[in-house]
Amino acid sequence: MPPKSFEVKPKLDESGSSIGELLEISMGPHHPSTHGVFRMDVVLDGEKVVKLKPVCGYLHRNHEKIGENISYLASMPYTDRLDYFCSMTNNWAYALTIEKLAGLAVPERAEYIRVIMAELTRLQNHTSLIGFFVHDMGALGTPLMYAFREREKILDLFEEVSGARMMCNYMRFGGVRVDVNDEWLARTKQLVANYGRFLDEFETFLNENEILLARTQGVSPLTKEQAINASLTGPLLRAAGVNYDVRKVDKYGIYSRFDFKVPLGEHGDLYDRYMMRVLEMRESIKILNQALRDIPGGPVMDPKAKLRGFRPKPGEVYGRIESPKGELGFYIISDGGPNPYRYRVRPPSFINITILEDMCLGHRVADVIVILGSVDIVLGEVDR
């Protein structure tokens, strides 16, 4: 049975005497702030949050069990559906894991293409997040439409090279499915060259907007200790001042070749989480300029990679990348057969949402909507 939309409970003092009433409400599973099928059970004292419980599972799709009953390659298009905003990075995390397990090399050109696709994905994810974030505050229309205008340009590039705008199914074990041509690279360079100007305009509109400042500064702060203890990753962790980025820590792919910084916040509040996305996009532009400048010629697939009859040696492996939302990892156990014996996903959205109650306690119910938006979850990987 679904919960009642609200329930009034007595508010008790230390002796157990009634001193007022608490209101328990259910936000979702269809509330527009949830960005999908998600629910929050919230207990309010007036407008102040005194308890909050995230409730997920409405969209559960059995992703991991499916992965244990189909071939290794057949799981690649399923990864597109985890964080459906970021299929390219989902593909890369899974491909990297299987390459570690099977000992496959990736040609130089394919490594550069992967970085380009991943940073374009970071741009469109963060741009969309800021549009949704401001939309959750009540700025209906303009910021979100500006964000989607820029996102469409990146999706056009994805569609041209992969055949799909969102479910790209582009990476392969040992490389990428198809090469990019010179015309595609030229259009990508043009997009990257213009993206900084778009960010300048976006920041001019938003950074010192008095409504945004009032709704974000000092709201929902997280300390370094809270972020680390909750195993947070990605922009949410770095907004709290923790210098941790898998691109720098693991230097997977060819990220060690690029000059870029890891932006950090000071307060861990909503404003820092907003600025993390803006500053990370600036760094992504730096990486893209370097990758597009230095991309070599050559093949895009390891000739040793066998896509049919693929049976990696028995063993276990964990592979991870810095997806736009945080650490995305795959844990695979092989028994030498055509299917994984064990298939497990470590999704950033699910881990990051676990601290939602601590982020909301003491704040007003209207702030809950914006706080949830600042986490940047996608229910495809929460309810995988």
pLDDT score of 12:
59
Mean pLDDT computed over 192-215: 92
Convert the pLDDT of each residue in 233-270 to its tens digit.
999 999 999 999 999 999 999 999 999 999 999 999 99
pTM check: above 0.75: yes
Q: What letters, b where the CB count within 10 A reaches 16 and e where it falls short, cover 93-129?
A: bbbbbbbbbbebebbbbbbbbbbbbbbbbbbbbbbbb
Give the other-Cβ count within 10 Å of 84's Cβ: 15
- End-to-end CA gap in the chain: 23
Residue 355 scores a pLDDT above 60: yes
Q: With CA atoms as reference, report the closest residue to 369 among 25, 127, 86, 125.
A: 25
Backbone angles phi, psi at 317, to 5 degrees: -155, 150
Three-class SS state of 255 = helix
pLDDT score of 143:
84
Three-class SS state of 232 = coil
Backbone angles phi, psi at 319, to 5 degrees: -120, 145
Convert the pLDDT of each residue in 1-46 to its tens digit.
445 555 566 665 565 544 468 889 888 776 655 556 888 999 999 8
